[in-house]
Amino acid sequence: MANLSYAVPGLVLGPGSGFSQEVQDFQRDLRSLGYIAGPIDGQFGNGTALAVAALIYDLQNYDGSGTDGDAPVAIKKYNQGSLTGQADQALVTCIAAMLDDDSYPKLPASGDPAGDNLRALTAIQAMPNPGVPLPYLLAIVNQESAMRHYQVPTRGNIDNFVTIGLDRNDPNNPARITSRGHGIGQYTLFHHPPTADEVQSFILDPVKNVSKTISEMTDKFANYVLGPTASQVADDRVAEYGHAALNPCKYPQGDSRFQADCVNCLKSAPPVTITSGTTLWYEGASGTYARTQYHVGSYSNVPQRSKIGCDWPYAARRFNGSGVNSFDYQAEFLLKVLAQG
């Protein structure tokens, strides 16, 4: 059995005053198991409480299935009973079993996260003909992970694990983690834990990770801007350009600016101000930009997407889906492209 500092008879972890080594060790293990995105700071805050709730939900319900395949283990097999909803010793026993089980792949950590992040970004910038304009690809990577494959420890936060993003989009079970993005490109899995092969390939390898992002982005460009079905159409694009053929760049192939001069294209587009609760997603839209759990909803000096001259801004929005959050994601993405200049 794993030697855990918080495996103490009668100990129940919860909000307290100040730093606790037991809480920090607890957070580190939750991070390794994929239930918390950080920080690992020894403070039992809301993020740790959400992680506990998500883990307990899975221990009670999750059989390892996902829309993209099955996990190598079923989380509920580790449930040894007596779960109370708290971070008590019944939960600690489950965590120890998960940590001890070699068939449960753990998230990797780095001994040199800053260096590994720099090497990852350098390798991505050197990718030949990625198929997505490089400034747009870098903006997606910035949007998804702040260009970090690994978290870099800071004072009071020892997190050096691979970057992870946790979505909780089940209104009937708000504690449940519905998907997890991994690494610099935040390639998303809908099963948990990842398989050993998934860890060894695109979770550990940032270039393979971003290759997944490139494949998804090119698919969104080809199939989720103008169809082929009505549900795959980008409404903002149709409202602003109609059903004219997809435009990969305003410059022709062979021009040195083809899919390379994106920053200047955005600089030449008129800037617009977006106000949460007021600015329509597009002319004639049924909704407005809004503050959500993921986005602030208001933005200044956003390049007007209809004046940029290509369809990648619409593909970037569909990369994030089609709901209210996707429009905020698009605005933030465009500002990140612009910031490269």
116, 110 Cβ separation under 8 angstroms: yes
Mean pLDDT for 107-132 is 94
Whether 297 has a pLDDT exceeding 90, the answer reads: yes
- β-bridge mates for residue 281, sequence order: none
Distances (CA, A) of 68 to 58, 133, 229, 253: 18, 28, 22, 36
Q: 1-5, 13-17, 96-100, 123-127: which has the highest mean pLDDT?
A: 96-100
What's the pLDDT tens digit per position in 70-115? 999 999 999 998 999 999 999 999 999 999 999 999 999 999 999 9
Return the pLDDT at 1: 60
119, 2 Cβ separation under 8 angstroms: no
What's the pLDDT tens digit per position in 57-71? 999 999 999 999 999
Whether 316 has a pLDDT exceeding 80, the answer reads: yes
Which of 49, 53, 106, 55 shows the shortest CA–CA distance to 79? 55
Q: If pLDDT is split at 50, 70 and 90, which confidence band does 294 have? A: confident
Mean pLDDT for 172-177 is 94
The 3-state DSSP class for residue 245 equals coil
What's the pLDDT tens digit per position in 184-212? 999 999 999 999 999 999 999 999 999 99
Return the pLDDT at 93: 96
Whether 265 has a pLDDT exceeding 90, the answer reads: yes
Interacting residues of 214 by C-beta distance below 8 A, sequence separation 6+: 130, 131, 132, 137
Q: If pLDDT is split at 50, 70 and 90, which confidence band does 129 have? A: confident
Distances (CA, A) of 6 to 89, 178, 318: 8, 28, 44
What is the C-alpha separation between 333 and 137, in angstroms, rounded? Answer: 10
What's the pLDDT tens digit per position in 150-159? 999 999 999 9
Tokens found for residue 49: 């409480």
Distances (CA, A) of 274 to 270, 289, 298, 301, 329: 13, 7, 5, 8, 13
Distances (CA, A) of 104 to 34, 45, 70, 87, 96: 11, 26, 13, 21, 12
Whether 341 has a pLDDT exceeding 90, the answer reads: no
**pLDDT mean across residues, the chain:** 95
Query: In sequence order, what E strands does 236-331 have?
Result: 271-274, 299-303
Q: If pLDDT is split at 50, 70 and 90, which confidence band does 181 have? A: very high
Return the pLDDT at 293: 83
Q: If pLDDT is split at 50, 70 and 90, which confidence band does 18 have? A: confident
What is the C-alpha separation between 5 and 25, in angstroms, rounded? Answer: 7
Which of 217, 192, 195 shows the shortest CA–CA distance to 204? 195
Which of 97, 73, 76 shows the shortest CA–CA distance to 4? 97
Tokens found for residue 214: 């490139």
The 3-state DSSP class for residue 13 equals strand
Whether 288 has a pLDDT exceeding 70, the answer reads: yes
Mean pLDDT for 4-15 is 96
Return the pLDDT at 84: 96
The pTM of this model reads 0.91
Interacting residues of 315 by C-beta distance below 8 A, sequence separation 6+: 217, 220, 221, 224, 225, 234
Mean pLDDT for 278-300 is 95
Return the pLDDT at 195: 98
What is the C-alpha separation between 72 and 192, in angstroms, rounded? Answer: 8
In degrees, rounded to 5, the angle at the alpha carbon of residue 161 between the alpha carbons of residues 4 and 327 is 130
- β-bridge mates for residue 271, sequence order: 303
What's the pLDDT tens digit per position in 212-246? 999 999 999 999 999 999 889 999 999 999 999 99
